[in-house]
Structure 1
Amino acid sequence: MPTLLLVDGSSYLYRAFHALPDLRNSAGEPTGAVRGVLSMLRRLESDYKAEYRACVFDAKGKTFRDDWFPDYKAQRPPMPDDLRAQIEPLHEAVKAEGWPLLMEEGVEADDVIGTLTRQAVEAGWEVVISTGDKDLTQLVQPGVRWVNTMSEEVLDEAGVTAKFGVPPKLIVDYLTLIGDTVDNVPGVEKCGPKTAVKWLTEYGNLDNLVASADKVGGKVGENLRKHLDFLPLGRKLVTVVTDLKLPVGPADLPAREDDKAALAAIYRRMEFKGWLKELEEGTHRPAASAAADAAIA
């Protein structure tokens, strides 16, 4: 059966920028995040011979979640100039490397990934979601794996349960309770992961917990009751949407041939000398070739 590899490009862009040293070319342009993301894409190409794939980025501007909750992500500082400067060359490099690149206005990359995952699963495909974002573990199910190349983690359903203490079907409830500081979604005060797991294990899910909120003791139980009015909105905010109307579907995302001329120009600009040498010597392996081998195997 076909495999669809979906990469959370925005997640890896931020992580690469903050994790890698301040690399620059001789013109002074920052290059570290570009190199980091491309390295991760190359690693994924090698590890997962997917016939179909896409690198998904957040588009500029607000999303429907900002309409629901004006404070959504409000605490985030402005994007650093050195990071912003690498977005355009990274997008061009991703496309030149043979990856379909997706950005949809008004929604988040997570929602695009969620919708494509649902469509692929319904078609009987395997799906690999590569990200550092724990929110996307809610999509893990039979045939869907969550992969973080930076931490070397590969999570199936059992892996999600082992990591978080709850199965994928309860990740939304778990996140609703503990909140999401990255996205500025408040959870129940003083409710950390251990308390959330305890409650969900005891009551089965968030709905049952809410129905029995008056029975939950202690200060944290009092905090739960104070937070009851916000819980429905919190749940909406942390739920990945899977029913977007997208202009493409999984079958529209085959791995493509490299654009060698475009890649050479980018590698020269970024001064990725080793990769440029590989390209000129013909030892750089196109994504589409790897996918073709996987289809034959």
Structure 2
Amino acid sequence: MPPRLVLIDGSSYLYRAFHALPPLSNAAGEPTGALYGVVNMLRAVLKERPDYVAFVQDAPGPTFRDALYPAYKATRQAMPDDLVAQVEPMLAIVAALGIPILRVPGVEADDVIGTLARQAHADGIEVTISTGDKDFAQLVAPGITLVNTMTNTTLDSAGVVERFGVQPGQIVDYLALMGDSVDNIPGVDKCGPKTAAKWLAAYASLDGVIAHAGEIGGKIGENLRRALPQLPLS
């Protein structure tokens, strides 16, 4: 069997644990609910005894996307204080477990995970991305899978098609068409998952949808044509 690398999406772990568990605290009144959840998820990963593992977390400061699109994530709510208080303790726990922590200034953790996944895959290493973030579905391929430790589910290429209605290689275009209110990515107004999947089934890619935008009728067609200037950036 090929060696196996597990890339842990630190932000996904922290947020999912924070929202999934009750507001626990220690004797000093410090919040610990997210820490408890993260530790349990880390234990599940380590129990599988991967050959390599890394915990990837966003570095402080802006990224290149902020320069490209100043409104990027502008509408995202600030991290709750109770969660902020658990970030550094979480990193200390990860380090104490002997798991390398990767934080690269100027890029997001997603970029680091994507780069490492592709490089490891090219080197014949089996890659598991431990996350609850749908954006990583674009990386899924034979030898690269997603695992959600909160739900104990695995997403492979067939799973991506079943869940989203598009191939992994179309996920970026699929998300661009729909937009993302969390990250303040506009997309096409009123374009939901079914419409995005239908367009990509017909035209294969975002470039194909743009090229055939004049053929799409109705209000949604008008919305598409109105969104054309911003779609490549999405």
Give the TM-score range, shorter chain.
Answer: over 0.9
Instruction: Determine helix, strand or coil for the equivalent of 1:197.
Output: helix
**TM-score, normalisation: structure 2:** 0.97
Q: Counterpart of 1:31?
A: 32
Q: Counterpart of 2:175?
A: 175
Does residue 5 of structure 1 match 2:6? Answer: yes
Distance (whole Å) between structure 2 residues aligned to residue 176 and residue 199 of structure 1: 12
Give the structure with higher Rg (CA).
1
Deviations 1:27-73 (A, max 9, x none): 11111111111110111222x33110101111111111111111111
Q: Counterpart of 2:136?
A: 136
Distance (whole Å) between structure 2 residues aligned to residue 151 and residue 160 of structure 1: 16
Give the superposition deviation at 1:76. 1.4
Q: Counterpart of 1:72?
A: 72
Distance (whole Å) between structure 2 residues aligned to residue 58 and residue 21 of structure 1: 25
Distance (whole Å) between structure 2 residues aligned to residue 87 and residue 29 of structure 1: 12
Q: Counterpart of 2:150?
A: 150
Instruction: Determine helix, strand or coil for the equivalent of 2:74.
Output: coil
**Matched residue type, 1:73:** K
Deviations 1:218-273 (A, max 9, x none): 10011100101101110xxxxxxxxxxxxxxxxxxxxxxxxxxxxxxxxxxxxxxx
Deviations 1:68-110 (A, max 9, x none): 1111111112221111111111101001112111111111100
Give the superposition deviation at 1:10. 0.8
**Matched residue type, 1:94:** V
Distance (whole Å) between structure 2 residues aligned to residue 41 and residue 98 of structure 1: 11
Instruction: Determine helix, strand or coil for the equivalent of 1:78.
Output: coil
Q: Which has the higher contact order (CA 8 A, sep 6+)?
A: 1
Give the superposition deviation at 1:205. 1.6
Distance (whole Å) between structure 1 residues aligned to residue 177 and residue 77 of structure 2: 25
Q: Counterpart of 1:248?
A: none
Q: Counterpart of 1:57?
A: 57
**Matched residue type, 1:223:** N
Distance (whole Å) between structure 2 residues aligned to residue 76 and residue 207 of structure 1: 28
Q: Counterpart of 1:228?
A: 228
Distance (whole Å) between structure 2 residues aligned to residue 62 and residue 151 of structure 1: 32
Distance (whole Å) between structure 2 residues aligned to residue 79 and residue 200 of structure 1: 35
The two structures, once aligned, show a CA RMSD in angstroms of: 0.9
Distance (whole Å) between structure 2 residues aligned to residue 204 and residue 18 of structure 1: 36
Q: Counterpart of 1:15?
A: 16
Deviations 1:172-208 (A, max 9, x none): 0100100112211111001000100111111122111
Instruction: Determine helix, strand or coil for the equivalent of 1:232.
Output: coil
Give the superposition deviation at 1:17. 1.0
Q: How many corresponding residue pairs?
A: 233
Runs of 4+ with deviation above 6 angstroms: none
Distance (whole Å) between structure 2 residues aligned to residue 89 and residue 101 of structure 1: 13
Distance (whole Å) between structure 1 residues aligned to residue 153 and residue 205 of structure 2: 26
Distance (whole Å) between structure 2 residues aligned to residue 160 and residue 8 of structure 1: 19
Q: Which consecutive residues of structure 1, in runs of 5 or more, have no partner in the other structure?
A: 235-297
Q: Counterpart of 1:107?
A: 107
Q: Which consecutive residues of structure 2, in runs of 5 or more, have no partner in the other structure?
A: none
Distance (whole Å) between structure 2 residues aligned to residue 203 and residue 12 of structure 1: 36
TM alignment of 1:158-237, pairs within 5 A: 158-234=158-234
**TM-score, normalisation: structure 1:** 0.77
